[in-house]
Structure 1
Amino acid sequence: MKRHEIREKALQVLFQLDNTDLTLEEAISHIFEEDQELNPFFKTLVYGVAKNLEEIDERLKQKLENWSLYRLPKIERTILRMALYELKYMEETPPAVVLDEAIELAKTYGDEKSSKFVNGVLSKFVEQ
């Protein structure tokens, strides 16, 4: 499985977590078969976002001008959380790749303005 596909699966799991009462394991089981071994990159991304959610949200709130985190469309919020985790905790991925991937996910799963919004917010983190 390619990293882009892994990010899509991670997005699906994290989106479920944000919008349902499912546990992390239940959300993962909705996406993968029970006996399927999880990719290490997927596990790091999903468990890392879940574990560091409070800190990630605090960082995002600092960069959202005229927006509250919970007013954001849920898919954009989830994409931003994943990308910020990757930027801050998974330094082996170049920032340009993280941005490109987040923008592609926003184009696929968000509305016509999502990719520009995601790019604008994440660019503030990359410029630091």
Structure 2
Amino acid sequence: MSARSKSRKRALDILFAADARGVDPLEVLSERLELTRNPSLGGSPAQVTPLGDYAEELVRGVAQHRDRLDEVIAGHARGWSLDRMPAVDRVVLRMAAFELLYVPDVPPAVAIDEAVELAKTLSTDDSPRFVNGVLGQLVPDVGQLRAQNSA
């Protein structure tokens, strides 16, 4: 597994926890970073493992652009509201949409493949196809959406 794949999984863990708790992802990120700095606080081995810069970038980016990401996802998830989606799928789609719209050094095919793999590993049997379909609908609009973001 590549370093960025591991970072995506770590970011997903934080974003999913924030979603489940109904709190700002930056709050969960801050808690996680504190456990990393102070393992004596009693975190699990996974919680005291350093996140890495890319995981932090993903969490911060999704938190900063969440409303825009949700708007874009909702516009491309035909027949599905964000509330109806499994929580893991929603978080995976937010991360992938963030990469597609705000991280130009990640090729769209990589962002989609990584999202589908996370869905395959962590969500329902139908999730990989659903995630792939939503992101596949989004890709043709990436250039226009990026331009709108910078305007």
Q: Normalized against structure 2, the TM-score is what?
A: 0.77
Q: 1:34 aligns with which of 33, 36, 42?
A: 36
From the superposition, tell whether residues 126 and 23 of structure 1 become closer, same or farther in structure 2 (CA, over 3 Å): closer
Instruction: Determine if contact 2:14/2:59 at 8 Å carries over to the other structure.
Output: yes
1:18-57 residue pairs with structure 2 within 5 A?
A: 18-28=19-29, 29-30=31-32, 33-35=35-37, 38-57=51-70
How far residue 26 of structure 1 moved from its aligned partner, in angstroms, is 4.5
Alpha-carbon distance in 1 for matches of 2:127, 2:137: 16
Q: Which amino acid aligns with 1:121?
A: V
- Please, which runs of 5 or more residues in structure 2 have no aligned partner? 38-48, 142-151
Cα distance, 1:25 vs structure 2: 4.7
**Structure 1 residue ranges without an equivalent (≥5):** none
Decide whether the 8 Å contact of 2:24 with 2:63 is kept in 1: no
1:76 maps to 89
Deviation above 6 Å: which 4+ runs of structure 1?
none
For 1:93-112, list aligned pairs within 5 A. Answer: 93-112=106-125
**Residue of structure 2 equivalent to 1:5:** 6
Fraction of identical pairs, as percent: 38
Question: Aligned equivalents of 1:79 and 1:8: distance in 2?
Answer: 9
Larger radius of gyration: 2
Which one-letter code corresponds to 2:36 in the other structure? E
Q: Offset at 1:27? A: 2.0
Question: Kindly tell me: are residues 2 and 73 of structure 1, through their superposed partners in 2, closer, same or farther at Cα, counting changes over 3 Å?
Answer: same
Q: Secondary structure at the match of 1:93?
A: coil
| Distance in 2 of aligned mates of 1:53 and 1:20 | 16
**8 Å contact kept, 2:8–2:55:** yes
1:123 aligns with 136
Query: What CA RMSD, in Å, does the superposition of the two structures yield over aligned residues?
Result: 1.9
Higher helix share: 2
Question: Any conservation in 2 of the 1:86–1:93 contact (CA below 8 Å)?
Answer: yes
| 1:32-85 CA-partner distances (Å, limit 9, x unpaired) | 733165422112110000011001001111111111111111110000000000
Contact 2:7 2:55 in 1 (8 A): yes
